[in-house]
Amino acid sequence: MMFDKSRSAGALVSDIARLHAAEQQRALAPLGLSRAQFVVLCELWLADGMTQRELANGLGLEQATMANTLARMQRDGLVTRKPHPDDGRSQQIWLTEWARDLRDPASRAALEADGLLAAALPSAERELFLSMLSRVTANLRSGKTG
């Protein structure tokens, strides 16, 4: 049997992710944000003051990747670091006022990119598509194969 990428869930999801990433980057660029910064901001908009470890674990990223992203975000004026009150080895990551002000426009930009993702689907199919993606993601995160 020959591999057919047009019938491979993995290949199709990979294509979707690549195309969506490019569209999301295009939508966020006028705000001066990268996709990586946006995902970190999304976490901090929900729970400002997280540690680097909490952010890395929550986003499923390596510590080094998170450290580099946070360094760029600090350089760009999006976050500040302050010593953790209960753990002298940790620092909490806090949003700047500018980053808090970006929440609505960045969310609109991301929603614009998401809208293109399933624009060809009728509403009911879009909901089914999102439900299926959520279940597949949860399954993969749990490590279940069947």
10-21: per-residue pLDDT in tens? 899 999 999 999
Q: What is the pLDDT of residue 55?
A: 96
> Per-residue confidence at 124, pLDDT binned at 50, 70, 90?
very high
Q: 19-113: what fold? A: Arc Repressor Mutant, subunit A (1.10.10)
In this structure, are strands 79-83 and 91-95 parallel, antiparallel, or unpaired? antiparallel
What is d(CA 94, CA 45) in angstroms, rounded to the nearest whole number? Answer: 10
For the chain, give the mean pLDDT: 93
- Whether the predicted pLDDT of 146 surpasses 60: no
What is d(CA 15, CA 6) in angstroms, rounded to the nearest whole number? Answer: 10
In the chain, where the domains are located: 19-113
